[in-house]
Every structure is written in C-alpha cells, then in structure tokens.
Amino acid sequence: MSGDNSFVVVANRLPVDLHTAPDGTRTWTPSPGGLVAALSPVLEHQQGCWVGWPGVSDEAPEPFRTDAGVLLHPVRLTEADYEGFYEGFSNASLWPLYHDLIVTPVYHREWWSAYRDVNLRFALEVAEVAAEGATVWVQDYQLQLLPGILRQMRPDLRIGFFLHIPFPSPDLFRQLPWRDEIIRGLLGADLIGFHLESNARNFLDLCAATEGLTVEGNAGTRRTDAHVVTHDGHRVAVGAFPISIDAASLGEGEEGGVDKLRAELGDPETVILGVDRLDYTKGILQRLLAFEELLESEALDPATTVLMQVATPSRERIEQYRVARSQVEEAVGRINGTFGAMGRPVVHYLHQSLPKSELRTYYEAADVMLVTPFKDGMNLVAKEYVACHGDGSGALVLSEFAGAAVELNEAHLCNPFDLESIKRALLTAVQGLAGAPEATAERMLAMHRQVAEYDVNRWADAFLTSLEETR
Ligand code: GDG
C-alpha cells in the first residue's frame, strides 16, 4: 500500500472550511492559518499532501487539490468518533493533563478506545497516500499513536512528530492509564519536536525511567543532540523547536483603522487587549479580576482606560469550557455594572472569531497586550502582537508559564496564579508607556527583532532539516 506523495502533513484538522451559500450550495474552501502558511512552501514545492479531518462529522469531500497544487485528503469521522476521540480523550483527558491539571482530567476507557481507533484510521489513510520513503510530519496531541502505528505499517517512511502543547513532568504524565501506549506511539517517530527544552527534558526523563529505553544526550533548541533508543535499537531524535508566526499572514492593517477603533472606544488614553480561544488554560478570568481590582483601588481610571477582550468560541460542548465562559461573562458584566457608564463600557467583550485584518487593527491599537495563561505550549498571540509593533510602541504583559516567555523575556512577566503579580505587571506596563517611553520602546524592539528573525519558516526549516538528518 503506497501512494505518490513524497511529503505528507497529518493534523487532526484539515485546513478547509465548509461554506453553505444561501441557496444551500455547499463548497469546501482551503482556510488560511499559521501552520498552512509555514508548510505551504514545502507542500507546494513537493506537491505534497495534507491528511486531516475536514471539521464536519459524518461527511467528507473527495480528496482535492488546492490552486497551489497541494492535495487535501480528508479523513471522515463520525459524530461518535468526534465525541470520544476529540472532545473526550484529546480535550477532556490529554489537554488538562498536559496543561498541568488546571482542571482535573477525566479518563474513560471508551474515549481511549475511540482515540486508538481514530489514530489507526489516520494511519491507514497516510499509508495509502505516502510514496515509498516519503517524509511524514504528524502534528499534535490528538495523533500521538500515529507514529508507532505508521512505523509498523510502513517502515520505509521518515516520520516526524511535533507537539504543539506542553509536555508535562513525568510525575504528572504517569497518572495516564495508557501512558505506555502513548510513549510507544510517539517513539515510532524518527524525530519528536517540542516547543521548549523543558518540555523535551520532561519527555527524556520519562523515557529514562521507562524500562527498555535508553537516553543519550541533552535536548537542544533547533537541533537534536538528544536521542532515545528503544529496545529494538530504533533511534529517536528529540529536540526543542519553538514555533513562531508568519508575519506576512497578519496582512496589512486597514488604513486609518486604529484611529477609527480608538474613536469607537471613546478615545481612551489606554487600550488594553486580550485575545484568546475561550479556554480555561488562558487565564482570562484572572486578568479580568486583576483589572477589576486595579479599578477598585483607583490605580486605573475607568474614564480613561478600556480593556478589550476577544474570546473566540472553542470546544463549547465540554463542561469545563462552559463553566469558564460563564465565569468570564459574569466578571465582564460585574465590572461594567460597577465601573462603566451608559454607552461606555470599560470592558469591551466579544465572544466571536474576527477576521485576521480586524485582529491586526486591534493589535495595533492596543497599548498593552495582556497574555496570562496558566500554561501554554507557546502562545502565538503574544508573538503576533509584538510583530505588529515594529515601531517600538506598546507593551506586553506575559505569563511566565507561556512557552513564549522563554524568547520574549523583555515582556512584563507575571505569575497568573498570583493576582498581585498580574496587577503589578499590568500597572508597570501602563505607567511605563508614559513614564519610561524609551525603556518601553527598547523592550518592544528587542522582542520584535526576535520574532522577525525566528519566524514560522525558520521553525519549519529547522524541524524538517533535523528530520532529514535522521536518515
Ligand atoms: C496551540 C497551543 C501554541 C484567536 N482569535 C482569533 C484568531 N485567533 C488566532 C490567533 C493565533 C491563534 O488563533 C491562537 O494561537 P495560540 O498559540 O495563541 O493558542 P492555541 O490556539 O491554544 O494554540 C499554543 C499553538 O498551538 C501553536 O503551536 O502556540 O500554545 O495551545 O494565531 O491570532 N484568529 C482570527 N480571529 C480571531 O478572533 N482570525
């Protein structure tokens, strides 16, 4: 069983959206995104293939080529698959476990069995489309069994795996009932990439403590000095490859857009911004509470300060996401009830996904960006904000627990578990804009250089070069 694609990307989600016209006509259109942008050059150059779920249960279009020649190969998932594999095991078991138990993970045997089945189905599809000796790049926590299954089916393939979320410490990981299967699944790859050296070290420590595995070397960034050797002699390289953004995909800001937005907000002196998927890992409630306390203590003035929070709808059928949403919305209501005026809220809140161009205007307009996750693999929002402030304007408040804090260490770092720490960082950032403009600009420019130099293409190149070197 083999196809004719020499480069195959596999991700839970295929980069397509289903559009239904008013007359009911349905069309599948390629959807842009950071990962697509990063991988497009290789995919297009090699006329590669992307395997994934098209985003709608119980149906899938026939495989089709994008205008640029990339083959999109859908994997059909039933509603039951979606519930057990995606909402259940991926997002109610693995997601909280890998984000250090911010909420309690739930483990169900039926979810695990759905996860195994779906990983097997993905493997069958990949085995069908991949050419002899092809390079296959598997993305993220939904597909951790795929490398192991694929290696058994197709030992000729060169398999890379990248984890987009953190990898927890061995002590936490060991609570997973199917820990051995996951480790073996991952070790089917030739190269396993994480965002940070600390994630890679967690994985290496876990392997070192697992019978039959030996670990050589230490994890490096954008290179692979570390290897895990399995009992049958298969060598798996392990490294840290911090993801970044495609500055070009942020597009151009709308001419005059910033002035228009600030006027709509009532021309405040200070605009503070948060942009997140509505996820309990992102610390949205905590930042609202910190903002509220600063208003209460009159450290911030509601007449001259506004907070804009964009919370993109996410995983809405999972109980803990519903709870997170209602807590956030209750806080927004309370803060506006206390500190707003008619027609002049102090928190502007959207529970919607905005077009990228609009998001860019928000980033440009914001004096302070608040990024306060309890745990985050990287956090691209922080990097996108920095990318929009190449003129040195603005300030970034960033959680120490976001992967991005390793590279963006000129941000105002805070501990999101400590409201006082968020308050301090936010206030320092706001006051620094007027009080220490040069130092503030220097910090932003240093971060901008970092993001401009290590963009998402560097990430993809570094990973794929390391993967080639394992041959
Ligand atoms: C996972 C990891 C890691 C948000 N709202 C809108 C919108 N967005 C875009 C942002 C950004 C992306 O979504 C979010 O990326 P993050 O990195 O911040 O967070 P996750 O979704 O949790 O991503 C994370 C990432 O994978 C990559 O490896 O960094 O740690 O959790 O690009 O701009 N985009 C549009 N409208 C919105 O309203 N168009």
Q: From the CA atom positions of the chain, what is the Rg in Å?
A: 23
* Ligand 1 pocket check for 378: Cβ under 6 Å: yes
Model pLDDT for residues 325-343, shown as the tens digit of each residue: 999 999 999 999 999 999 9
Ligand 1 center–CA 128 separation, angstroms: 31
Q: What is the mean pLDDT of the chain?
A: 95
Domains recognised in the chain with CATH numbers: 5-244+457-468 (3.40.50.2000), 248-453 (3.40.50.2000)
Q: How confident is the model at residue 1 (pLDDT cuts 50, 70, 90)?
A: low
Average pLDDT score over residue span 458-463:
94
CA-nearest residue, atom 28 of ligand 1: 164
CA-nearest residue, atom 38 of ligand 1: 353
In sequence order, what are the residues at sequence separation of 6 or more whose Cβ sits closer than 8 angstroms to the Cβ of residue 199?
163, 166, 167, 240, 377, 403
Distance CA 408, CA 451 (A): 9
Q: Is the model more confident about 383 or about 40?
A: 383
- In this prediction the pTM is 0.97
Nearest atom (ligand 1) to Cα of 376: 30
Model pLDDT for residues 381-407, shown as the tens digit of each residue: 999 999 999 999 999 999 999 999 999
* Ligand 1 pocket check for 312: Cβ under 6 Å: yes
Distance CA 412, CA 440 (A): 10
Distance CA 252, CA 222 (A): 30
Ligand 1 center–CA 258 separation, angstroms: 22
* Ligand 1 pocket check for 383: Cβ under 6 Å: no
Ligand 1 center–CA 93 separation, angstroms: 21
* Ligand 1 pocket check for 354: Cβ under 6 Å: yes
* Ligand 1 pocket check for 353: Cβ under 6 Å: yes
Ligand 1 probe mutation, 143, 381, 396, 406, most atoms within 8 A of CB: 381
* Closest C-alpha among 77, 75, 48 to residue 62: 75
